[in-house]
């Protein structure tokens, strides 16, 4: 059964900036309010033109409302995410975490198969967390669309 409101995030290591820099997602979200969203893939049109840029643009506003971290998870390798982050200007705004084997994505049961993108990817979603517990969860009805998981929708949940 997919993760739901009221559940605590699993304790799983993701990667940030390099393959040796492991970040435990539960530890990162502990003791603060966090917005976590996922994309099917870096450099894809919807992710690059709308989804990530919306969170970059709204980062300061979200943080003014008590959000301690804004995290984007993608089933991509860490080097791809680094390049994408530089292109999108995420530094100091959105942390990009790599889930290269979709371990986190499969554990929370929000994975989808997209053969044209290499197989297992993340569904598109956003969640509001408080101390690692899900307070709001917005999963796109088709797993990849752009409606309920956008930054503008998350602002309404604060």
Q: Where in the sequence numbering do the catalytic residues fall? A: 47
The Cα-based distances of 147 to 23, 50, 61, 137, 140 in angstroms read 29, 10, 19, 13, 7
| CA–CA gap between residue 77 and residue 113 (Å, rounded) | 17
Taking alpha carbons only, the member of 151, 131, 156 closest to residue 60 is 151
Q: Cα–Cα distance between 69 and 77 in angstroms, integer?
A: 21
Q: Is the dihedral of CA 120, 70, 14, 49 positive or negative?
A: positive
Tell me the C-alpha distance between 73 and 102, whole Å: 10
- Distance of alpha carbon 137 from alpha carbon 4, whole angstroms: 7
């Amino acid at each position: 059964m997919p993760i739901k409101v009221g559940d605590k995030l699993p304790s799983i290591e993701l990667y940030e900036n390099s393959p040796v820099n492991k970040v435990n997602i539960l530890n990162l979200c502990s003791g603060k309010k966090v917005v976590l969203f996922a994309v099917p893939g870096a450099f894809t049109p919807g992710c690059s033109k709308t989804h990530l840029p919306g969170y970059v643009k709204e980062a300061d506003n979200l943080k003014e409302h008590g959000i301690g971290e804004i995290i984007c998870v993608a089933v991509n390798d860490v080097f791809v995410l680094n390049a994408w982050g530089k292109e999108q200007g995420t530094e100091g705004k959105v942390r990009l975490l790599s889930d290269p084997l979709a371990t986190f994505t499969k554990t929370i049961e929000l994975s989808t198969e997209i053969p044209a993108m290499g197989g297992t990817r993340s569904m598109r979603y956003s969640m509001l967390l408080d101390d690692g517990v899900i307070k709001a969860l917005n999963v796109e009805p088709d797993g990849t669309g752009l409606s309920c998981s956008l930054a503008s929708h998350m602002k309404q949940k604060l």
